[in-house]
């Protein structure tokens, strides 16, 4: 059971001086050695946090920063776990790690639990979130783990700040006032999450469920991952995707909000690059066996009543951000959010390799949709009984295959355009026929046709796939 405390550090996106320590060089630190390595003492060290360590089981694509972490065992202290049911169930802290790419970060505290069933898992979740937590040497300032995020964010800011006017003893002046104003918003804690991993039922596919809790006045996302017969490595990757998706979603919301209120400049190249890359990663299916767009839709779909304010904020951002590239991504983001929280909900199943994730999804009409909606080895499948479901599913799979086969040879901008258009067509296919936007479908088909034309002879298969999809949509 893992409690995640997301943290967003926007100092790399600020145009002015932030006094942030440039070391380590995130997202790929120069030196990282395991604790058992003879060179462990040579690892990069984050002042006030701990040493940078490699993930010995490797990172997870497409997250560049997931191959390393900061070992927080000597800085963050957790109260001794108690037994809820002494004869069967006990818990202990397995690790305390901080993962970050320099902007999007998360502190994860993992509890190893034995003998948990449904009732005991609920009790352990309550305990994990309420476990007393403090920074080393500050036992008197302990707070429940679920409330530790803001304190950790404040500590991260202090520990990674060097040469600021306060530490150098500067007198009052514009520089000092600007620094105190900046301190107030550059490092922020987000809504926590709890990820529970259980063995599940042997012989059955793995399942993933998401709900929202309100515990002691704090709202948090709760994810349950039941392994079943799924591969352990696939479950590790799935957990990483859930963790990154939750923290990435909050980071995108935070940076967009800071752009809207004028704290960040959306035309500043680092801000533009961050928003475009982050929203692309959240929205575009990636070829690593997992569909982030579908998972993001599930997160929001389970919390549709809470996210109406998010939709309104994104609508405002469309009008307030004078940056066409960001606005195009925000428009896609807005459409995904608005679609995911529409009032109508149906139950669907997504198959990801061995995984089977059951959830409620909006805008799925007439029962069950047949056909793949996602790329990656093994593919992801949704089911719906539309009249053209089989032919459309087959055509979309052919299109995804064509785009995937060309991605290594296409220019990066054509690869992005093709993947975006393919993802958009998949979302249109998920809708009832009456709700599909003909203009949007035609625009995406036109974009794919342009990519095929620019590719010359290598684009023949893509052109044929585009024609097949157009026919399957009845256009």
- In the 8-state DSSP scheme, what is residue 251? H
**Neighbour tally for 215: CB within 10 Å:** 17
Same-domain status, 224 and 105:
yes
Among 214, 244, 274, where does a domain finish?
244
Q: Does 32 map to a domain?
A: yes
Contact 358, 371 (CB under 8 A): no
* DSSP assignment of 275-334: HHHHHHHHHS-BTTTB-HHHHHHHHHHTTTTTTHHHHHHHHHHHHH---HHHHHHHHHHH
Give the Cα separation of 451 and 430 in Å (integer).
24
DSSP three-state, residue 270:
helix
**What Å distances lie between residue 391 and 115, 403, 463, CA to CA?**
47, 18, 17
Kindly state whether residue 130 falls inside one of the protein's structural domains.
yes
Matching residue, tokens 């104003």: 181
Contact 317, 259 (CB under 8 A): yes
How far apart are alpha carbons 310 and 338 in whole angstroms?
9
The overall longest dimension of the chain from CA atoms, in Å, is 74
Displacement of CA 222 from its chain's centroid (Å): 14
Q: Which of 223, 244, 265 is the last residue of a domain?
A: 244
Residue 115's CB is within 10 A of a number of other CB atoms, namely 11
The residue assigned the tokens 């967009």 is: 256
Residue 336 lies in a domain: no
Q: Which residues have C-beta within 8 Å of that of residue 457, sequence separation ≥ 6? A: none
Does the residue 286 lie in any domain?
Answer: no
8 Å CB contact between 70 and 48 = no
Q: Rounded to 5 degrees, what angle do the CA atoms 199, 68, 10 make?
A: 110
Cα distance between residue 170 and residue 174, in whole Å:
11
CB-based contacts of 165, cutoff 8 Å, min separation 6: 173, 175, 176, 179
- Domain C-terminal end among 244, 276, 294: 244
How far apart are alpha carbons 131 and 109 in whole angstroms?
11
**Are 234 and 375 contained in the same domain?**
no
Cβ–Cβ < 8 Å for 428, 292: no
Are residues 63 and 204 both part of a single domain?
A: yes
Instruction: Name the packing angle between helices 324-340 and 292-301 (round to 10°).
Output: 50
Instruction: Return d(Cα 175, Cα 180) in angstroms, integer.
Output: 9
Task: Identify whether 266 is part of a domain.
Answer: no
Single pTM value for the model: 0.68
Dihedrals φ, ψ of 468, to 5°? -65, -40
CB 359 within 8 A of CB 298: yes
Q: Is residue 56 part of a domain?
A: yes
Residues 12 and 156 occupy one common structural domain: yes
Dihedral of CA 60/63/64/66: which sign? negative
Q: How many residues does the chain have?
A: 475
Look up residue 338 and give its DSSP letter: H
Residues 240 and 350 in one domain: no
Per the structure, the complete domain to which residue 459 belongs is given by 346-472
Give the model's pLDDT for residue 88: 45
CA–CA dist 189, 152 (Å, integer): 8
Cβ burial of 368 (10 Å; 0-12, 13-18, 19+) is: middle
Q: Cα Rg for the chain, rounded, in angstroms?
A: 23
**322 is a domain residue:** no
- Looking at residue 60, the DSSP 8-state letter turns out to be B
Say which residue the tokens 């009732």 belong to.
119
Tell how strand 90-100 and strand 104-114 pair up: antiparallel
Domain count, the chain: 2
Q: What is the mean pLDDT of each run of 10 residues along the chain (475 residues)?
A: 95 90 87 89 91 88 86 91 52 91 94 66 77 91 92 94 74 72 92 86 69 78 80 81 85 88 89 85 53 53 53 66 74 63 37 35 31 33 47 87 82 80 86 81 83 80 88 84
Position 445 in a domain: yes
Tell whether omega for the bond before 62 is within 30 degrees of 0, i.e. cis.
yes
């Amino acid at each position: 059971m893992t409690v995640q405390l997301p943290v967003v550090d926007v100092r790399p996106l600020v145009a002015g001086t932030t006094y942030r320590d440039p070391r380590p060089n995130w997202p790929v630190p120069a030196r990282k050695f395991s604790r058992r390595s003879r060179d462990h003492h040579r690892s990069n060290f984050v002042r006030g946090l701990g040493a940078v360590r490699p993930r010995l089981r490797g990172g997870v694509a497409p997250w560049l920063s997931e191959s390393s972490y900061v070992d927080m065992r000597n800085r963050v202290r957790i109260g001794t776990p108690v037994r809820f049911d002494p004869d069967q169930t006990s818990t202990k802290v397995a690790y305390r790690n901080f993962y970050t790419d320099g902007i999007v970060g998360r502190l994860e505290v993992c509890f190893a639990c034995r003998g948990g069933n449904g009732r005991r898992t609920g009790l352990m979740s309550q305990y994990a979130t309420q476990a007393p937590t403090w920074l080393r040497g500050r036992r008197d300032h302990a707070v429940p783990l679920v409330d530790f995020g803001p304190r950790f964010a404040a500590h991260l800011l202090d520990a990674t700040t060097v040469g600021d006017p306060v530490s150098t003893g500067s007198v009052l002046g514009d520089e000092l006032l600007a620094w105190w104003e900046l301190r107030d918003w550059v490092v922020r804690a987000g809504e926590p999450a709890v990820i529970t991993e259980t063995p599940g039922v042997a012989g059955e596919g793995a399942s993933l469920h998401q709900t929202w809790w309100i515990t002691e006045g704090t709202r948090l996302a709760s994810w349950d991952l039941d392994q079943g017969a799924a591969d352990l490595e696939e479950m590790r990757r799935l957990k990483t995707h859930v963790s990154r998706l939750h923290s990435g979603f909050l980071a995108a919301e935070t940076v967009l909000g800071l752009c809207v209120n004028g704290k960040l400049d959306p035309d500043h190249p680092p801000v533009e690059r961050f928003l475009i890359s982050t929203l692309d990663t959240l929205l575009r299916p990636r070829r690593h066996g997992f569909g982030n767009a579908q998972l993001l839709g599930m997160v929001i779909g389970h919390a549709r009543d809470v996210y109406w304010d998010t939709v309104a904020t994104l609508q405002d951002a469309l009008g307030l951000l004078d940056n066409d590239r960001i606005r195009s991504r925000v428009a896609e983001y807005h459409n995904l959010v608005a679609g995911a929280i529409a009032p109508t909900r149906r139950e669907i199943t997504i198959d990801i390799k061995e995984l089977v994730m059951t959830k409620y999804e909006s805008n799925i009409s007439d029962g069950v949709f047949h056909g793949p909606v996602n790329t990656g080895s093994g593919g992801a499948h949704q089911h719906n009984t539309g009249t053209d479901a089989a032919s459309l599913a087959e055509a979309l799979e052919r299109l995804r295959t064509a785009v995937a086969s060309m991605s290594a040879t296409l220019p990066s901008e054509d690869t992005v355009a093709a993947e975006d258009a393919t993802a958009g067509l998949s979302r249109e296919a998920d809708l009832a026929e009456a709700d599909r936007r003909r203009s949007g479908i035609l625009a995406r088909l036109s974009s794919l046709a342009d990519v095929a034309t620019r590719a010359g002879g290598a684009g023949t298969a893509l052109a044929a796939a585009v024609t097949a999809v157009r026919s399957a949509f009845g256009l």
